[in-house]
Each structure stands twice: as structure tokens, then as C-alpha cells.
Amino acid sequence: MALVSQSVETDPATTLGKQLVIGNGAPDRPLKGDEKAAALLLALGPDHARPIFDELDETEIKQLSRAMVRLGPITQSMLDALMIEFVTNISSNGSLSGNTDSTERLLLSFLPQDRVASIMEEIRGPAGRNMWEKLSNVQEDVLATYLKNEYPQTIAVVLSKISPEHASKVLAIFPEALAMDVIQRMLGLDPVQKEILEKIENTLRTEFMSTLSHTKRRDSHEQMAEIFNSFDRQTEARFITGLEENSREDAERIKALMFTFEDLAKLDASAVQTLLARMDKAELALALKGANETLKEFFFKNMSARTTKMLKDDMETMGPVRLKDVDEAQGRMVSTAKDLAAQGEIVILKAKSDDQMIL
């Protein structure tokens, strides 16, 4: 693997807010793919564009936002031509067929080819996931053993691209001198040229990832904990009790790995507020109606007085509810927390205080 002296450039955050401006006397000009998408979404307006944005990830939203910001005046004739092109393309075949090829063609009309390739790889399945996501799921000792033979600058680039939690575990395995060298290089990384980064990815794919099909073994207790997390409360209790009778040690290990509704009380204030902002208010009221008083107060303390009062009123007027419905609402709340953790928006703690998930 070639020595690398630069890192990946991070795009600055962008925000929406630019409205579509119909140019008065401005000359017509051809629109590029991302400009067409930006103009179309602005023309649709907030109500109709919102469902489309809901289907995009953060990178795609940023790209469209940048296109909107630099779009400039759009003449009425340019807008008319764009709408005609859009409607013509939709109706020309008389029908629509949703498949891999049609999806890829549509994405290529307003997104760069490399971005489309990344999206389609992920859609096609685990084998096509982003290289850095794959590395974040490789056992740290296996990854550390491989990287020890690489240039420290290359190691620095690789560790800067994977999840912080995983990078820390890999660094901890390195000999101290190598680890300190890599840390210093990570602190001084500059943007990596695209060609060099692609070379690193290709080398990792051909020399390392292809040999891992039988290397990584998943902990059976961790897998079973995820299964138990999906049970309703009664089923979970029944199986845990049965397992305790046969093997208390296995039961305790599974319980320690599980993340339950009660574990939400371990979230810090920022994480709780992020979670609450994502929850449907009616579902939140249903989930908290079946919570113990301590957990209710924990959530109430992270809400405004007005929101707390409204939520308590909703819970009081709800009347009797089925335990099954409460379990499902609480389960969806836990799933939302896990999704936020997977997106890197919050950090959740498992049963052990030193076992954090930074995804």
C-alpha cells in the first residue's frame, strides 16, 4: 500500500433557506443534473418537497442544499422547460418499473457518479457496503494485525475513516511507539487526493477484506441479546426465566448485553432531547404511560414545562391501554434510540458503565 500524506476533506455544513428566484430579464442557461434537482425541489415548495427530503440521507441533502445556494435566478422559460422535461421523462414509457437499473439512471441524472455508485452498492447488499463501514465491523485484533505491516501514514488515513470507537480499540492493540506515531500523523492529516484514497480502498478490498469471510465470528450471546430485545415483555421474561433455570451465567450475560426501555435512563441530557425530538407525541405518551415513575420523571426533566404538562394531559385522557400496545411503543422508542446511535447522533450506554456504543 502506498504511503499517503493527506486525509479526506470534510465538507462544510450547509443549510436550506434559499428560495427559487424567477429571474427578471436574466438570460436562460442550461441546468446541470444537481441544479435540475435543486430547482425542481424549490419549485415544489416545502409541503411537496418535504417527503422527498425525508427519503434522502444527510450527504444527499447537503449536496442538494449546496446546489440550491448557488442556483441563482431561474427564468420562467427555464422552469417551464425543466417541468416539461420532467413530465416527459416520467410519461414517455407509459408506465414505470422500479428496479436497480431504473433507480441508478434516475440517481445519475442529479447526483455524481461516485455518489450513485456508493448508494447502489449499499442497496445491493452487505457485500457492497462502504469500505470504511466494513472495516468498522472487523474485529479490532484482526484489523490491527493487518495494519501493523503498513506505513504509519497509511494507518493514520485508515483509522481516520472508521468509527472512533473502533479506531481506539485498534490503537490500543498497537505497540506504544507505533500507536503514538499514528496519533501524531492523524493530528496532522491533510486532505487526501481522491486517487490515493481509491488506491487504499482497492488494496484493502483485494488484499484484506476478501480473506475475512471466515475470520470474524460473532459472539452468540450478543446475537441472542438482539433477539431477546425484539421480544415483547412477557415473552422476554418467560425465556429469561427458563434460561436462568438451565444456565444462570448465560442468562446474566444476555441481560448485560441487552438494551431495554429502562436503559434509556442512562442517556445523557443531549441524547434524551435528541430522542424526544424524533418521537411521535402520541407514541411517546403511550410508551411513558407504562413506565415506572422514576423513568417518567427522568424524561419529564428533559422537557419544557409546557411540553410536560401537555404530555401528562395526553396520558391522563388516554384511558386504559393494552400492555401489548405499551410494549410496542416502548420497543419503537428503543429502536429509534438505536437508529440514532447508528447514525452517530447520540451515544448509548449498555449495562456495563465502560461499554459504550459509538456507531
Q: Where are the domains of the chain?
A: 33-96, 131-211, 259-357
Determine the topology of domain 131-211 in CATH.
Annexin V; domain 1 (1.10.220)
Q: What is the DSSP letter of 348?
A: E
CA 322/CA 116 separation, integer angstroms: 45
Examine the pLDDT at 107 and tell me if it is beyond 60: yes
222-248: pLDDT as tens digits: 778 878 877 777 788 888 888 888 888
Distant-in-sequence, close-in-space partners of 107: CB < 8 Å, separation ≥ 6: 115, 116, 119, 120
The Cβ-side half-sphere exposure at 281, using a 13 Å CA radius, reads 9
Same fold, 131-211 and 259-357: yes
The phi, psi pair for 348, rounded to 5°, reads -115, 145
* Lowest mean pLDDT, pick from 100-104, 156-160, 181-185, 186-190: 100-104
3-state secondary structure (DSSP) of residue 25:
coil
Q: What percent of the chain has pLDDT over 90?
A: 12
* Confidence grade of residue 309 (pLDDT, cut at 50, 70, 90): very high
Examine the pLDDT at 213 and tell me if it is beyond 70: no
Cell readout for 262 is 429502562
Examine the pLDDT at 296 and tell me if it is beyond 80: yes
Distant-in-sequence, close-in-space partners of 145: CB < 8 Å, separation ≥ 6: none
What pLDDT is stored for residue 99 in this prediction? 56
Examine the pLDDT at 96 and tell me if it is beyond 70: no
Grid cell 430579464 is found at 25
Q: What percent of the chain has pLDDT over 70?
A: 75
* Confidence grade of residue 284 (pLDDT, cut at 50, 70, 90): very high
Q: pTM (2 decimals)? A: 0.36
DSSP assignment of 182-246 equals HHHHHHT--BPPHHHHHHHHHHIIIIIGGG-TTT----HHHHHHHHHHTS-HHHHHHHHHHHHHH
Q: How large is the greatest C-alpha to C-alpha distance in the chain, in angstroms? A: 82
CA 15/CA 233 separation, integer angstroms: 42
CA 203/CA 77 separation, integer angstroms: 49
* Confidence grade of residue 253 (pLDDT, cut at 50, 70, 90): confident
Examine the pLDDT at 301 and tell me if it is beyond 90: yes
Q: Which residues pair with 356 in a beta bridge?
A: 349
* Confidence grade of residue 349 (pLDDT, cut at 50, 70, 90): low
Examine the pLDDT at 72 and tell me if it is beyond 50: yes
What pLDDT is stored for residue 355 in this prediction? 42
Mean pLDDT of 82-103: 61
Domain 259-357 sits in CATH 1.10.220.30: yes
